[in-house]
Amino acid sequence: MRIIKIEAIPIELKLKEPFSISNETIEVADNIIIRLETDEELVGWGCAAPDIVTSETKKTVLTNFNMAKKTLIGADPTRINLLNSIMEENLKGNPSLKAGINIALYDILGKKSNMPLFRLLGGYREKILTSVTIGLNPTELMVEKAKKIESEGFKSIKIKCGFNINQDIINITSIHEAIGKKVRIRLDANEGYSVEDALKLVKTLEKEDITIEIFEQPTKANYLYSLKDVTNQCSVPIMADETALTLRDNIKLVRLEIADMINIKLMKIGGISNAIKANIITEIAQVPIMVGCMNESMAAMSAGVHFACGFKNVQYADLDSVLDFDNDVAKGGPRYEEGYIIPSEKPGLGVEVQI
- pLDDT tens figures, 268-277: 999 999 999 9
pLDDT for 302 beyond 90 = yes
Closest to 100 measured CA to CA, from 269, 340, 283, 281 = 269
- Active site annotation includes 160: yes
Degrees, nearest 5: CA angle 228-130-227: 10
- pLDDT tens figures, 82-138: 999 999 998 889 999 999 999 999 999 999 999 999 999 999 999 999 999 999 999
pLDDT for 23 beyond 80 = no
Give the pLDDT mean for 262-268.
Answer: 98
Amino acid 310 reads G
- Active site annotation includes 188: yes
Classify burial at 155, counting beta carbons within 10 Å of its beta carbon; exposed 0-12, middle 13-18, buried 19 or more: middle
Give the pLDDT mean for 63-78.
Answer: 94
Give dist(CA 188, CA 13) in Å, integer: 23
pLDDT for 334 beyond 90 = yes
Q: Which of 50-54, 110-114, 265-269 has the lowest mean pLDDT?
A: 50-54
DSSP 152: T
Amino acid 250 reads N
Degrees, nearest 5: CA angle 105-109-111: 115
Whole-number pLDDT of residue 31: 98
Closest to 33 measured CA to CA, from 302, 350, 299, 303 = 299
Whole-number pLDDT of residue 18: 86
Closest to 32 measured CA to CA, from 21, 45, 20 = 45
Give the pLDDT mean for 151-157.
Answer: 97
> Structure pTM?
0.96
Coil vs helix vs strand at 8: strand
Q: Which residues contact 146 (CB under 8 A, 6 or more apart)?
A: 134, 157, 159, 175, 178, 179, 183
DSSP letters, 252-304, are HHHHTT--SEEEE-HHHHTSHHHHHHHHHHHHHTT--EEE---S--HHHHHHH
Out of 241, 242, 318, 324, pick the active-site residue.
241
Closest to 46 measured CA to CA, from 1, 84, 94, 8 = 8
Torsion of CA 220, 226, 230, 231, to 10 degrees: 100
DSSP 145: H
Residue 206: CB atoms within 10 Å: 13
Whole-number pLDDT of residue 187: 98
Whole-number pLDDT of residue 162: 96
Out of 51, 265, 268, 320, pick the active-site residue.
265
Whole-number pLDDT of residue 239: 98
pLDDT for 22 beyond 90 = no
User: What integer best gives the mean pLDDT of the chain?
Assistant: 96
- Active site annotation includes 241: yes
Helix and strand numbers (H, E) in the chain are 12, 16
Q: Do 31 and 11 contact (CB within 8 A), yes or no?
A: yes
Out of 188, 197, 296, 328, pick the active-site residue.
188
Coil vs helix vs strand at 5: strand
Q: Do 109 and 298 contact (CB within 8 A), yes or no?
A: no
Out of 98, 127, 160, 268, pick the active-site residue.
160
pLDDT for 20 beyond 90 = no
For each of the domains in the chain, give its residue range(s) and CATH number, in order of start: 3-114 (3.30.390.10), 118-353 (3.20.20.120)
Torsion of CA 63, 65, 67, 68, to 10 degrees: 170
Confidence band (pLDDT; 50, 70, 90) for 182?
confident
Out of 30, 216, 229, 318, pick the active-site residue.
216
Q: Do 289 and 98 contact (CB within 8 A), yes or no?
A: no
Whole-number pLDDT of residue 249: 96
Which H or E run includes 193?
none
- Active site annotation includes 216: yes
DSSP 243: T
